[in-house]
Structure 1
């Protein structure tokens, strides 16, 4: 039953007499002013706009000020006719309308006979003069022509200024597998993906198990809204990617296509040994659209498939060959070894799980050997992905139309860990349904109703790749656990498997729009129901931590972390969200437009349908409140005002100044709390055991309750007074049309985030404050709450600041050339960049995500984990001028050789992102905070960003000796996120030849494609090892060592597309 709050808002909506354009728009608007030759306005002019693809015609009359506005128009090409007795009829062609666009088409009529037609050809102005929203369109030509690695359309969102991605955050089955898109300084989890106005996000992005959002052939175009969108857009405080599905037209068209890649065409990865590992990829599909009933009913359908078998290049830091014999290098005698009394269990682990290095030793900066080597393996990754979309458009009358679109995607992946004794299998099944009904109630009043449904089922499990003896399993009857040895690559999965998420989002919205004189009023309501069934295990296979290699060899473990057998990790979450808004776009004279809006977006408190929900209200207590999650509802004050101005400086539509300010909130929905909200007693129990026997402590203590050792029970605690995360956002942008075919933009954008999420260890030792104000953690001091071990806590008191200069130059297709260049110079600082619960869904790199000092949050103020100082992106589509239908005609044979060629490219140049240097995996502060090891001291005179040379040596990216181990019990003086990772430079290039085959039909074309990704084959390195010390104070062998690349080596793709 819909809660009373939702019902009241629905009733209130229909009591409103004025209203709005479609929320999360999928259509566009044509508007303008009609004048005579002297500049006088002309009322009563009949304006007819014709959609050339479907022959739909809409007609309105200009008002007393000569103004007209035709809204809720399908995207596409239009012809505009103006008629008034005593004046010549004027026909304006060449107007192309894109999604959420307001095309200003001003018309000048001349006195004459009504039977005389004056035809004018010309597109709408390039400069935006009616809205303060900063957005950019990705059109169908870019979708078809630009080289896309994986043919995932969201990659083109990265072409826009202020849009980037997290380079070291790989996707995860239960949180979305695509790249994490960061827009205008917002957190990546705040980006919203829409398809025909329906939410696509399944966790934090919209990807399938293949890591792609398939359907390039299905998408007509999409708009990327990066800054200060109007009040009709909710649910997201970051940016929005709003895509529109293609529709059928009055002519039948279609295509079949195949894209092929294999290892014979590719360059080896920088870390490959010899030739590239085996690789094949096939992407194929077919699309068709056309009329069912001419001018009335249209269909479009597309089916795609992806099949991939990839030999991955994994580089692991493993014990050197001499370690298998119990030998360690003697630091006091170069070239000599020390014999260690290695336990039989350690010997069995080494021989069973760790292959000998095959890619050389790991050395120090001065070339000395260490006890580590590199192991390169090429396990086979398997991906299968099948995608389908079907859309039906129905024109009921000139004033009434609707469409239905259904999308299905089924994908699966088998991927291997860096040490390939374990693999992970994952599946994602997605269903997306949108039904939209649009009814023109009068020439000034429009109603749009939409129903959306988003269902995705994602599951993830561990798969052993070798036979594991029961004696080596940490938890009897389960997979190999996670083994962490300081300075070496982890063995086994991180213990969070198995897990699954079954999300269902029901979305009902109704929107009205009313135009009167200089006002365009908007109002609407949306009601969403979120249902999320989840399983989020934690350390279900157990995890052992060793603070050094010698300690591992002698069996001296630091800690065992595991879930108790009674833990219940399944939950059924439910929540409702209601959004109500009002928007008024006002013309203040002929040159200025005021955009003012207000959005109210409350949501219900989280509910677990089986009552398995609890919270520890008092962090010093031990009593859990059952059936409660948040103590109060943080959303009841979620009022979001937004205001902006757009100024047509000279009144000619060629120069504009736009500015805006607004409040944008990101609701606390299941994807935020479904991990951390699960791991709370009494329904979920996990514990740590200090100094445990190895490897059978779980059986001795967790199962048999041995009294010889004592468990420290862990708890996750969410602040019962969480507030809705929010951003205050603003911008100032100047646009200028140049040379009639290009637009240049320069602007400043910024935001201040507040109530942002963070995680911290809440059960540390209380420090002693020394005379000079320094915090000191005495040995053997009690923790704050002796009833628990670790108390991983979630709060949202983080603030952030972002400032950027954005430059862009855009040329729409003209004379065979289309390009866009975008450069962003930015700085982003914060007190923390997320939570581990959030990063679990995306396998993050963990760059300073958890607060280091629970008593002094300012200690962590520094660069955000996704600060990119410089980001430049260029893309172009260039049609060579030779051949049929082009500027330079050729003979038949010459045309076959030289005609129909295109050259297309994407160039991306980005600086690196900040990384957090940590001491190691041991507890130097004696405060039990093993999840967030402290930062070291900075050596006197050393740089906090000690990159060696040009940073192009992956064996020694930075100098670990720039950092010192602080005295035990003291914080280090190094700041957070001071090391900058390697930047990246990627050039993707495509060459295509399109040939019209008239022997089949005049509209039949064949297109051959040759595409090279990272055509210059530059090795863009991944992040280096950031843990510096072993527990004995020696430097870890992996410190400063890079073992991966952030982008693939050169990959070549062949494609064939037949279209009609």
Structure 2
């Protein structure tokens, strides 16, 4: 606490000494060198930079080197004018300054007088960056308006940039989910991007994977991203820094009304769907902006309303037959159904007389799901059912913005965004069920206020400051009745009685070789969150140095329930199960489970974190051809904690084998045989003012479990992140540059690491049983105690993930406004997170245990290394990865045809792909090399092209021709991308292992492969029980992605300033089937098949009026 107070005082002192309490981004700078016709520099020249929209001007004087720089300019289009004694006045117009942009405006003056005729040069196309080294890209305002976006989601624009892989093409689903993990930039893990609106944080730090506000496309001026060599101004996350700049008012009143409509009548049928699902999509937007006082005070306001009645993408699943639901398995001709725990076959495979009430209830859920299926085939085959269920969404957004410049030295800014968000997820939100029995209403109102004040002390000293807040009130209440025990007749007693909001819910059920389902306990989420960041940046220009320094304080809070399994989790599998009938589904029919676990309660954590950051950066114009950027960022990284200290952790270093409990072969703890909470610690004492907020499962344990853990269970860190960039103009004419950059970035890990730690004793309890019957999960012995159910843990030496990224770029301005960039971009990633089960038995132990006859075989819980525990999934930071790529980008911004083309060839390799990855091969969690290979988000080839063609014909013809044949435009997005690399696995002896590769080509020719046989399954086999498997990581390539989106528009002029536009958009116009969900488990009857596909062709119409 004292250390936090010291840092707070230091940060506040820095803020006060820099002059203000708020900050503002969305800026760039214009710099250049003024010379005469011979190349000699001109000192003392007056440079005026004017914003075309607001008429705001800035004046500076060139240094002795002839150099000038105008920093902290708001994004927009600028004119630059130069005046010098003895020379003609010169002007260049049309500089498009983007967020973070670095424009070079060099002038070669002509001899004459200032009053002589003006030399005007219009700037065409993108400007070559000759002053900084970052790899950045911007989608400008013209592209934002011209390109048809499926779902009108601005984040789709990020996927048009070089180095960005699109991981999910269902943009409508991305829009309704608020997810930001459907793309990744430059090989970074999904969920590591620094997503901003107007330079302010726009992420929920609980997952780092969803937005707070999904700002409407009609309110966006531009979207920019720095993907490599990022400036020291950026921190907090290690991925791309993505900023959406909202529109502002100008000296002219402008606005518009936009209506978009979509109906399934014009859509194509999805590949696996029996018919076209109903779709109704309505999107209405209105906005207006302009001056309150010209040149001084401006406003912008907008509102958007979306209503989407859509169905989910079709998904194929495997359900039992109706006869099997009734207990008759005669249709399983190759399977012997036995009396439980014996080798004696059941006559006619009919065990209906053995079905228990809870076994019948398990099967009754399938009966209800069959009624909801779009297609169901009553045969014992894989993928015999297809689901495509209603997924309605309503959303409204309001935005208001004020820009006020009372004088030439002060600038005030304020913005407010509010989203009203309501989505029904038929499968449940986040921890979704595989069947639509747990629909939730995701209510997630989002708020995003931002305030700023900039002050110019003089031409060489400027302060920009900001406060940004974002919060949402997310809750996901259950809908319907298909999650209730009473709906299906579940009767089994919960070990702890079911202590949670939905204590009348069914358990989570998994059945080997069949599609399982979930209950409500692990799905319902209550997680309101607030994030506040206060920052201040000070820019000082000293000759050819532009020095920027800044500080930031971040405070975050989230109150979230643990989403524990208080309704129970039951798994049916023949191994490990000493009471098996030799078939998992028939085990389920009589309730004989392989494992059962249950949590005692669903506690709430009151999570908080504070972070302090500071940076300094010098942009040094060494000479007319060379610029350097040198900076460093500092972060005082504090873990997420609970204000009530009601979290616990398993610390292996505190596990004492001499105090270990004795576990019977049935997986039960022998009473009084040891300490069942051996190795558990808690995060300090409960503060006196928090006692009333904490539920304690066992108060007696509170004194026996040591309060020795740090508040978030891992250390806080002082992190230094050096940044370096250079830009060299080899020919000195500003048309060619060679640039490069290096940056060290640390990642603010997601709060989910800590959120489940409330579910551990003494604040909650859990148990796990094996080889029992669901009618009495504890086995009917009241004194029996199961081992502690699966828990999560955090390594006490956890380190924040670090990324070292670097790039080398060549840019060239081509004739007629064309532009070319070729870049190498790479990354080294260290201390990446993973979550292995550190309590998993070794492979040799598992093989030996499997060789014991099933009647006397110990359960897996009996042979785990940490006695008294089931799984212990520990977050560790010891994974590594790397990324290398070649990126090419071409643009044509002027003329009737505007286009961009991006191609990326890349490799993203690592030993894990996500924070929650678990390696359970039995090799031991220390053997990471076994998993090194292509990541789940590796896409080797990525091609994306955008274009807008304004057809010039008949524009100036007579009225009848002009109104009918003139004013037509065509735009589109073309995308081709290779598929993900998958690893073939085989499963037996209770452990997931690799498949055995036996030789031959894995890939099939285009005329051989299809959804039921995508790759050559004959080259793989399930390994013997004593073998781990030899197939390499990522040896199977899943289908790629091919999309053609096309928009056709017709414009009509309405009076002098109005424009009416009719629009028809087609997404996936070629109706190409993009297959997904490839089964790669050899022991599965679905091996080699594809069970899902992306959206088919969609067509929408729109009408837009702009003025």
Aligned to 1:344: 355
Normalised by the length of structure 2, the TM-score is: 0.86
How do residues 540-689 of structure 1 correspond to structure 2 at under 5 angstroms? 540-547=566-573, 548-564=584-600, 567-618=601-652, 620-621=655-656, 622-627=678-683, 628-629=709-710, 634-668=715-749, 671-689=751-769
Q: 2:490 aligns with which of 463, 472, 486?
A: 472
Structure 1 pair 131–24 and aligned structure 2 pair: CA distance change class (3 A): farther
Structure 1 pair 329–949 and aligned structure 2 pair: CA distance change class (3 A): farther
Deviations 1:13-58 (A, max 9, x none): 66689x99x9884112111111122221111111111112111111
1:485 has 2:511 as partner: yes
Asked if the contact 1:424–1:460 (Cα under 8 Å) also holds between the matched residues in 2, the reply is yes
1:727 has 2:803 as partner: yes
Aligned to 2:1097: 1050
CA distance in 2, matches of 1:741, 1:493: 59
Give 1:558 shift: 1.2
Give 1:633 shift: 6.1
Asked if the contact 1:434–1:452 (Cα under 8 Å) also holds between the matched residues in 2, the reply is yes
Structure 1 pair 208–81 and aligned structure 2 pair: CA distance change class (3 A): closer
1:514 has 2:540 as partner: yes
Aligned to 1:964: 1021
Aligned to 1:908: 975
CA distance in 1, matches of 2:24, 2:1016: 50
Give 1:152 shift: 0.5
Q: Equivalent residue of 1:323, what SS?
A: helix
CA distance in 2, matches of 1:956, 1:1007: 46
Asked if the contact 2:842–2:922 (Cα under 8 Å) also holds between the matched residues in 1, the reply is no
Structure 1 pair 705–752 and aligned structure 2 pair: CA distance change class (3 A): farther
Structure 1 pair 663–1008 and aligned structure 2 pair: CA distance change class (3 A): same
Structure 1 pair 315–24 and aligned structure 2 pair: CA distance change class (3 A): farther
Aligned to 2:939: 868
Q: Equivalent residue of 2:651, what SS?
A: coil
Give 1:601 shift: 0.7
Deviations 1:605-640 (A, max 9, x none): 333111212222235341432223568864534111
Give 1:900 shift: 1.2
CA distance in 1, matches of 2:755, 2:566: 14
Asked if the contact 1:848–1:977 (Cα under 8 Å) also holds between the matched residues in 2, the reply is no
How do residues 979-994 of structure 1 correspond to structure 2 at under 5 angstroms? 979-994=1036-1051
Asked if the contact 2:807–2:824 (Cα under 8 Å) also holds between the matched residues in 1, the reply is yes
CA distance in 1, matches of 2:651, 2:598: 24
Structure 1 pair 705–723 and aligned structure 2 pair: CA distance change class (3 A): farther
CA distance in 2, matches of 1:641, 1:108: 36
Unaligned runs of 5+ in 1: 363-368, 837-845, 926-932, 1030-1035
Asked if the contact 2:445–2:474 (Cα under 8 Å) also holds between the matched residues in 1, the reply is yes
User: Which has the larger helix fraction?
Assistant: 2
Unaligned runs of 5+ in 2: 337-346, 428-433, 574-583, 657-677, 684-708, 853-857
CA distance in 1, matches of 2:335, 2:890: 62
1:75 has 2:75 as partner: yes
Give 1:905 shift: 0.5
CA distance in 2, matches of 1:964, 1:880: 58
CA distance in 1, matches of 2:176, 2:530: 14
Asked if the contact 2:319–2:366 (Cα under 8 Å) also holds between the matched residues in 1, the reply is no
Structure 1 pair 639–219 and aligned structure 2 pair: CA distance change class (3 A): same
Structure 1 pair 767–850 and aligned structure 2 pair: CA distance change class (3 A): closer
Q: 2:949 aligns with which of 873, 878, 883?
A: 878
User: Which has the larger strand fraction?
Assistant: 1
Aligned to 1:445: 461
Cα RMSD between the aligned structures? 3.1
CA distance in 2, matches of 1:327, 1:632: 51
Asked if the contact 1:937–1:963 (Cα under 8 Å) also holds between the matched residues in 2, the reply is yes
How do residues 834-983 of structure 1 correspond to structure 2 at under 5 angstroms? 834-836=914-916, 853-884=924-955, 889-920=956-987, 924-925=989-990, 933-942=991-1000, 945=1002, 952-968=1009-1025, 970-983=1027-1040
Structure 1 pair 775–352 and aligned structure 2 pair: CA distance change class (3 A): closer
1:429 has 2:445 as partner: yes
Normalised by the length of structure 1, the TM-score is: 0.89
Q: 1:536 aligns with which of 538, 552, 562?
A: 562
Give 1:775 shift: 11
CA distance in 2, matches of 1:768, 1:697: 33
Asked if the contact 2:1079–2:1088 (Cα under 8 Å) also holds between the matched residues in 1, the reply is yes
Asked if the contact 1:685–1:714 (Cα under 8 Å) also holds between the matched residues in 2, the reply is no
Give 1:491 shift: 2.2
Structure 1 pair 493–592 and aligned structure 2 pair: CA distance change class (3 A): farther
Aligned to 1:839: none
How do residues 320-331 of structure 1 correspond to structure 2 at under 5 angstroms? 320-324=321-325, 326-329=328-331, 331=333
CA distance in 2, matches of 1:179, 1:147: 21
Q: How many residues align structurally?
A: 1004
Q: Equivalent residue of 1:721, what SS?
A: coil
CA distance in 1, matches of 2:922, 2:973: 38
CA distance in 1, matches of 2:932, 2:226: 29
CA distance in 2, matches of 1:625, 1:69: 57
CA distance in 2, matches of 1:344, 1:461: 33
Asked if the contact 2:133–2:725 (Cα under 8 Å) also holds between the matched residues in 1, the reply is yes
Q: Equivalent residue of 2:810, what SS?
A: strand
Give 1:462 shift: 3.3
CA distance in 2, matches of 1:251, 1:575: 44
Aligned to 1:996: 1053
1:289 has 2:289 as partner: yes
Structure 1 pair 308–292 and aligned structure 2 pair: CA distance change class (3 A): same
Aligned to 2:134: 133
CA distance in 2, matches of 1:202, 1:978: 35
Asked if the contact 2:316–2:383 (Cα under 8 Å) also holds between the matched residues in 1, the reply is no
